[in-house]
Structure 1
Amino acid sequence: MMTSIIMALIIVAVAGVAYVAGNRFGRKSTEGIVGQAEELAAKMLEDARREADTIAKEAELQAKDAALAAKEQAENELKEKKREIQSQERRLQQKEEHLDKKAVLVDQKEMDLLKKEQGVVTREQGIVTREEELSRSLDEQKARLEQISGMSADDAKATLMAAMESEARHDAAKRVRQIEEEARETADKKSKEIIASAIQRYAGEYVSEKCVSVVPLPSDEMKGRIIGREGRNIRALEAATGIDLIIDDTPEAVILSGFNPVRREVARLSLEKLLSDGRIHPGRIEEVVAKSEEEVEKAIKEAGEQAAFDLGVHGIHPEVLKLVGRLKYRTSYTQNVYQHSLEVAFLCGIMAAELGINVKQAKRAGLLHDLGKAVDHEVEGSHAVIGADLARKYGESPKIVHAIAAHHEDEKPSTILAVLVQAADALSGARPGARREMMESYVKRLEDLERIATSFDGVQSSFAIQAGREIRVMVSSEKVSDDHATLLARDIAKKIESEMTYPGMIKVNVIRETRATEYAR
């Protein structure tokens, strides 16, 4: 329709233009054109009206269809809502019926509960009455029992409680004593098995090394060459080594005197080289001493590394290994401390394997337990405390440090590892031939043991046996009771610990014997 209107407007415009042109070019020619244009415009207007009618009718039909569709949709929705409302009404009706039934059941249960409550009240009344009767009966029986026994109920209760408590204490004491005896027997047997197994499995030498401090000479003429002109050689040797040379009337021998075993070894090696070379003068002495020091340091390092390798212990600080190697030139009661440390490490490892604890850790603690003896001539204090400080300084674990510090009771042993090191140290030092003592010091130790034991009141006699590793004390049965005998043994042991120095442990046995004697005439 819009297209027809636009075309009609165009034709009218063309007609207008033609009209204007006709005024200019001629009236006759333009009248025909205008007539044609008017006819064409009339025709187009007619077409446009018909098209507009058609479109209006189509629009009216579409509007009617849309209205019918909307009406049907509204009717469908209304029907759906009606169905939902009817369904809800049915559900509500069913719920009302259920509620009615529940209300009936609740009423029935309330009636039952009321009946039960009445029954319970009746029973309670009966129970109360029964309890009152029983209470009166018990009171009567108590009164009769008190009259018969002549005791009140509280007195009888106290007597019974005391009897039961006494009996329970007695039974508990017997049970505790039995458990302690069984545990002691089991522990004693197991410990003996472990120690025996460790001793059997370790094969150590009985003859100990001894650091040589006497250098043999090929002849007494060499003494003069060692001394040198105006003593130059001997002074140079003493200044370079820090060791005193004692040249006396001892035939064909020079004695080296010094507290430092490493320096003494350097002096020994230097003197032997000088004697074999024959050139003895201050310049040569300094050169030989320097070479000997290098050899000894190398030997110390190799000894420490070899000990760690033999034991399978790794990760030890190099300075600690050097200190272990220095123990090769240190002795204790003529027992070489280096060999003693290896032996203690092996024994610790064997016993740790038997007990199921860390074997490498036990070997490590055994190897380092006498570390302080490498420097105890330079540092004040107990070698156990010095060794613990050194181990702590070079990064050893707290367990290892404690085991080193506690192996001579400088600290109270608080771990199995510390006790193992104690036991292995005692085994290594106490086995026959491991250590040698002078006869005078040995006899003096036995006399001191017997003197300490007899200094206590009630002791009749004492006997030091097993090379001073056990003392048996005989006491008077009239002055010392069984309980006092246990305390006496402990006191004697404490006094021995405080007044004496000894390797290993000393066992104190207090013996109390009662004899009854009568004569038949």
Structure 2
Amino acid sequence: MEYTVLFFSLLISTASGFGLAYWLTQKKLESRIEEVEKEQMALIDDARKKAGNLIKEAQLEAKSRLLEMKGAFDAETDQARAELKTEERRVLNQSERLDKRKEQFEILEVELKRTEKKIQQQLKSLDEKESDYNKLLSDARKELEKVASLTSEEAKDILLKSMENEARHDGAKLVKRISSEAMEKADKEAKKIISTAIQRYAGDFIAERTVSVVQLPGDEMKGRIIGREGRNIRALEAATGIDLIIDDTPEAVILSGFNPVRREVARIALTRLISDGRIHPARIEDVVQRVTDEVDVTIKEAGEQAAFDLGVHGINSELIRVIGKLKFRTSYAQNVLQHSVEVAFLAGIMAAELGLNVKLAKRMGLLHDIGKAVDHEVDGPHALIGAKLAKKHGESNEVINAIAAHHEDQMPATVYDFLVQAADALSGARPGARKETLENYIKRLEELEGLANSFDGVSNTYAIQAGREIRVVVESKKISDTDAVLLSRDIASKIEENLTFPGQIKVVVIRETRAVEYTNK
């Protein structure tokens, strides 16, 4: 019994200990849960504060961006308004010029009608004079037979010689007068059209030459370009197709090659290799390939830009690339692409003055020298080479003929051909556009003077104003005033047939009579 009571008392004490321990554990858990909840609340409050700060910062940044975008939009709007106003003024000015041009054409039409009427009256007067002249001849023939007792054949010979001399004299006078009137009027109209074209063409001319010398930072760089046993320079020449000349010239490498595009690729590639410093065959091939791709893109962009600036559309893409190649081609130190654009503008302006198709004239001017892009690869005159290229890529017969005829390798067929010739002469012959070697210059002047000296009765010939004018001094005993008029025309015709020259050459024939007497005492 006692053991049973003791067992139960131990059991009750053990249960009480477990219950107390459980209660204490529960209390600790509840306290820990409260602490965790407080920490969570603190973290949530902190996160809310940070989120609020981020939202405020985002709102401030959005407002700032909005203000910047509004400022940029206002600036673009103001610029667009200014451009619209400028365009509006330009259109108004153009409209006024067109109105003035219309008035000038009306005045010119009235003058032409008056001139036509005057010419008809002169023709009528000439017919009357011819009738009187025939009557006088008949009377003179009868008088000669009566007074001189000449036979009809003898009288006829005398009359024919007299008539020939008189007709030659009168013909020379008539030719001189008609030529003077026609030249004066034609010269005035031509100068008016050409001066208008030159004044209205506002494009800049850039004399861009192909660079054939690359500057080095120092002479020690020459050794790195040559490389061990010459492997670097051989790799460069093989990749570009251009000869590199490394001589005693300090801090310079000379590039030699007939192809201007390859020479430009070699120049850019060598410049990049020098600036980079890593020069070895693998690097050379990589740089040359990248530069070649860049130059190809540049060529295409140059052709597209030229066509876009002129408003010439529908040109074959391959022909556009040929036009772009002209950027790296020069003629007498004149960049051929810039020259072609200038010729196109001038031809278009003159076509507008004459009421012709402006876009067609510009197209002819832009394409007239495309043969120069490949004339180092194909034999023949560049005009005919360009005509074949244009035909191959689908250009019209008018454009093809204008290209072929701009240096008279083919006879001009339309007024556009003469417009392109005139625009080409204007662009190439104006002061500062081109340069000429001393030998060629002297040779051209000698040929000009020799041609004039070949005529009978010429004593001296002087080429002046850089060959733009030639003064011919004749012997007064052999050449009369009437003969001088005919001689000037003959010399001008022979110059046109035998010499090639830009623009025009003025031929002046000078005849003088000197009377000399001596006094004696």
TM-score in terms of structure 1 length: 0.64
Cα separation, partners in 2 of 1:309 and 1:206, compared to 1, 3 Å: closer
Match of 2:188 in 1: 189
Report the CA distance shift for 1:182/1:352 in structure 2 as closer, same or farther (over 3 A). same
- Residue in 1 aligned with 2:90? none
The answer as to whether partners of 1:307 and 1:342 remain within 8 angstroms in 2 is: yes
Pair 1:376 & 2:379 matched: no
Structure 2 distance, partners of 1:413, 1:506, is 18
**1:330 Cα offset (Å):** 0.1
Q: Does 1:491 align with 2:506?
A: no
Tell which has more relative contact order, 1 or 2 (C-alpha 8 A, sep 6+): 2
Using a 3 Å threshold, how does the CA distance of structure 1 residues 220 and 452 change in structure 2: closer, same or farther? farther
Q: Please tell me the residue identity of whatever aligns with 2:198.
A: I
For 2:477, the equivalent position in structure 1 comes to: 478
Whole-angstrom distance in 2 between the partners of 1:457 and 1:263: 54
Please tell me the residue identity of whatever aligns with 2:509.
I
Find the counterpart in structure 2 of residue 513 from structure 1: 511
Distance 1:183 1:506 in 2: 17
Separation in 1 of the partners of 2:204 and 2:431? 10
Q: Could you tell me whether the CA contact under 8 Å between 1:328 and 1:337 is conserved in 2?
A: yes
Task: Please give the root-mean-square deviation of Cα atoms over the aligned residues, in Å.
Answer: 3.1
Taking the TM superposition and a 5 Å limit, the aligned residue runs for 1:316-465 are: 316-465=315-464
2:445 partner SS: helix
Instruction: Determine the C-alpha separation between the residues in 1 that align with 2:176 and 2:186.
Output: 15
5+ residue gaps in structure 1?
Answer: 1-148
2:488–2:507 contact (8 Å) kept in structure 1: no
Matches within 5 A, 1:292-331: 292-331=291-330
Aligned with 1:511: secondary structure? strand
Q: Percent identity?
A: 63
Contact 2:300 2:320 survives alignment (8 Å): yes
Alpha-carbon distance, 1:207 to partner: 5.4
- Verify the 8 A CA contact 1:488 1:510 in the aligned structure 2: no
Distance 2:441 2:205 in 1: 19
- Measured after TM superposition, the shift of residue 476 of structure 1 is 2.2
CA-to-partner distance for each residue in 1:227-265, whole Å, 9 max, x for gaps?
A: 111111111111111111111011111111111100001
Residue-by-residue CA offset, 1:120-154 (whole Å, 9 max, x unaligned): xxxxxxxxxxxxxxxxxxxxxxxxxxxxx99xxxx
Verify the 8 A CA contact 1:206 1:433 in the aligned structure 2: no
Q: How far does residue 180 in structure 1 lie from its aligned partner after superposition?
A: 5.4
Asked if structure 2 preserves the Cα contact closer than 8 Å seen for 1:320 and 1:394, the reply is yes
Distance 2:306 2:491 in 1: 44
Counterpart CA distance in 1 for 2:439 and 2:334 is 18
Any gaps of 5 or more consecutive residues in structure 2?
Answer: 1-144, 147-151
Residue 177 of structure 1, CA deviation: 7.3
Q: Distance in 1 between matches of 2:384 and 2:448?
A: 27
In the TM superposition, residue 506 of structure 1 has moved relative to its aligned partner by 4.6
> What secondary structure does 1:344 align onto?
helix
Give the TM-score normalised by the residue count of structure 2. Answer: 0.64
Q: Match for residue 223 of structure 2? A: 224
Q: Which amino acid aligns with 2:239?
A: A
- Is the alpha carbon distance of 1:461 and 1:205 closer, same or farther for their aligned partners in structure 2, counting shifts above 3 Å? farther
CA contact (8 A) 1:477 1:512 kept: no
Q: Distance in 2 between matches of 1:257 and 1:269?
A: 14
2: CA distance, partners of 1:331 / 1:232: 33
**Offset, 1:198:** 1.2
Q: Give yes or no for contact 1:206–1:432 (8 Å, CA) kept in 2.
A: no
Whole-Å separation in 2 of the counterparts to 1:410 and 1:388? 11
Residues 426-476 of structure 1 deviation map (CA, whole Å, 9 limit, x = unaligned)? 110111111123344434433443344334443222222222233222222
AA aligned to 2:503 is M
Deviation track 1:375-415 (CA, whole Å, cap 9, x = no partner) reads: 00000000000001111111111111111111111112121
CA distance in 1, matches of 2:302, 2:406: 24
Does residue 200 in structure 1 map to residue 190 in structure 2? no
2:231–2:281 Cα contact (<8 Å) kept: yes
Quote the residue 2:254 is aligned against: 255
Mapped to 2, the partners of 1:520 and 1:478 lie a distance apart of 21
Using a 3 Å threshold, how does the CA distance of structure 1 residues 404 and 513 change in structure 2: closer, same or farther?
same
Cα deviations across residues 202-241 of structure 1 (Å, max 9, x unaligned)? 2344651111111111111111111111111111111111
Quote the Cα distance in structure 2 between the aligned partners of 1:438 and 1:354: 36
How far apart, in 2, do the equivalents of 1:485 and 1:453 lie? 9
Structure whose CA Rg is larger: 1
The CA deviation at 1:508 is 4.6
Matches of 1:492 and 1:279 in 2, distance apart? 60
